[in-house]
Amino acid sequence: IYILAIESSCDDTSAAVLHNTKMLSNVVATQKIHEEYGGVVPELASRAHQQNIVPVVHQALAKANINKKDLSAIAFTRGPGLMGSLLVGTSFAKSLALGLNIPLIEVNHMQAHILAHFIDNESGKKPTFPFIGMTISGGHTQIVLVKSYFDMEILGQTLDDAVGEAFDKSAKILGLPYPGGPLIDKYAQLGNPKAFPFPKSKVGELNFSFSGFKTSVLYFIQRETQKNPNFITENLNDICASIQYTIIRVLLDKLKKAVAQTGVNQIAIGGGVSANSGIRKVLQEAEQKHGWKTFIPPFEFCTDNAAMIGIVGYLKYKEELFATQEITAKARYVINE
């Protein structure tokens, strides 16, 4: 089975070709334009998708060395995401499926972040059901119990900002360029994580809240720079290490709770924040410390990419879960809907 997959939910235009569970190509055009604005501008994102989609699809086919006549189906991200962005991928996928007269498969982006673990990778490791999936990205923070490929139960999620936003907004307060998450990670590795204690949010159960954390970082920095205008430059590594430490503690606490509540100790993470070196380290340590089995996908499958849409396409193809030409994009699309 050959699946062509298209992802356009946010600010990355991506196309991938999969042969069953093997990725043959995964092309991502990242939109640089948003950096100037310090965040994604929806109107600019949809225009860039419009420009990128045809070349990106051509590249994905060429890299996979596949003729479009050999494709079995077209899979696309139906949601959740920015409506203008989703419309580009959805319309393109529908047209192509119609033109080639092959099945169309709609994919929930949040399911895809989790099912990305089923793309073949070098480690050869794949989780078995049931497992706990945690998606941590610039737009989402969610813990789900994955009972089977298409049976997922949300255990908890953020009530306000996503983890990636907590990183990016903290970085912005420190005067670092967007997106600041990777820079916080870089400086954190050189600093003392216990230098400056920040409060952990106390929202209940398995939910998250990061907006209070961001405010505490802001007030702390304002207070200290009033006393010493060079506070940030003199303490950048320690500040970053402390911010990162606090965020990771929150994530780890919630995972521990999820394990206690469900009795499931396989943890699979996904989303761009999974690139964070501190999170990777803590999860690897948890294998020995708590007897967990942890799964961290290759970075290429963590951030938004079409290969993860392709694996869902393949899994749905086998079940003949096809969409009709009447399908429309869905900006709000719950993982278990």
Contact footprint for ligand ATP (CB under 6 A): 9-10, 137-140, 164, 167-168, 179, 181-182, 185, 271-273, 275-276, 303-304
Measured from the CB atom, the residue of 35 and 205 that comes closer to ligand ATP is: 35
Query: Is position 113 annotated in a ligand binding site?
Result: yes
Binding status of residue 11 toward Fe ion by CB under 5 A: no
**Which of 2, 49, 304, 305 lies at the binding interface for Fe ion (CB under 5 A)?**
304
Peptide bond preceding 80 in cis form (omega within 30 of 0) = yes
* 167: β partners: none
Helix (H) or strand (E) holding 248: helix 231-262
- Nearest distance in Å: CB 321, ligand ATP: 22
Measured from the CB atom, the residue of 158 and 265 that comes closer to ligand ATP is: 158
Measured from the CB atom, the residue of 168 and 304 that comes closer to Fe ion is: 304
For residue 177, how many other CB atoms are within 10 A of its CB? 10
Residue 168 touches which member of Fe ion, ligand ATP, none, C-beta under 5-8 Å by kind: ligand ATP
Report which residue's Cβ sits closest to ligand ATP. Answer: 272
E strand map for the chain: 2-7, 12-19, 22-30, 73-79, 104-108, 131-136, 141-148, 151-157, 266-270, 293-295
Query: Whose CA is closest to 276, among 157, 141, 137?
Result: 137
Residue 127 touches which member of Fe ion, ligand ATP, none, C-beta under 5-8 Å by kind: none
* 28: β partners: 14
Task: Classify residue 162 by its DSSP letter.
Answer: -
- Nearest distance in Å: CB 204, ligand ATP: 24
Measured from the CB atom, the residue of 142 and 294 that comes closer to Fe ion is: 142
Distance of alpha carbon 311 from the chain centroid? 15
- Nearest distance in Å: CB 135, Fe ion: 7
CA–CA distance, 277 with 267 (Å, rounded to integer): 17
- Numbered residues of the known binding site for Fe cation: 109, 113, 304
Residues of the shown chain interacting with Fe ion in the complex, contacts defined by CB under 5 A: 137, 304
- Numbered residues of the known binding site for substrate: 135-139, 168, 181, 185, 276
